[in-house]
Amino acid sequence: MSQQTYLGMKDGDLDGKPYAKFWTPEMQPLQPQVRDAAIHGNFASGMGIELEDASELLKPGYLVLENGHTKLASGKLLIACLTKMPNLTGEMFEWWMGWHYMEHQRYKLWHRYVQDKGPRSAGSRPCLGTIM
């Protein structure tokens, strides 16, 4: 039996959780580049990159599509979102990627309106490629 998914938190979701004090139901406004990409609509498929080409993200500079969405030639949907995170260190990012996927509530601390656990592969391991 699968667990019911819902937006945000419900009473009792954070009972006994040491991080409960960090829950705030208000989110910051969308960053301007994200808002503009959402308003723009779908971009041309050739502007996106396939998952197999994700190493392109490690190269200096920006990709053609940093903010927006497109349907790739493979039929997959690509959502790109350049999120500015001043003062973020590699260590902080690695900690986050290892911490948030352990429990629904941890992921929801970051994205208050998410319905489920967040990034997952079929084996319930963290996966940056899909959100199920």
The pLDDT tens digits for 96-114 are 888 887 887 888 887 766 6
Closest of 90, 89, 80 to residue 54, by C-alpha: 80
Q: Is the pTM of this model over 0.85?
A: no
Output the CA–CA distances (angstroms, integers) from residue 55 to 21, 28, 59, in the order listed: 37, 30, 7
Spell out where the chain has E strands.
67-71, 77-81
Q: What's the pLDDT tens digit per position in 5-51?
A: 777 788 898 999 998 998 887 777 888 888 888 888 899 999 999 99
Phi, psi for residue 55 in degrees, rounded to 5: -65, -15
- Per-residue model confidence (pLDDT) at position 122: 46
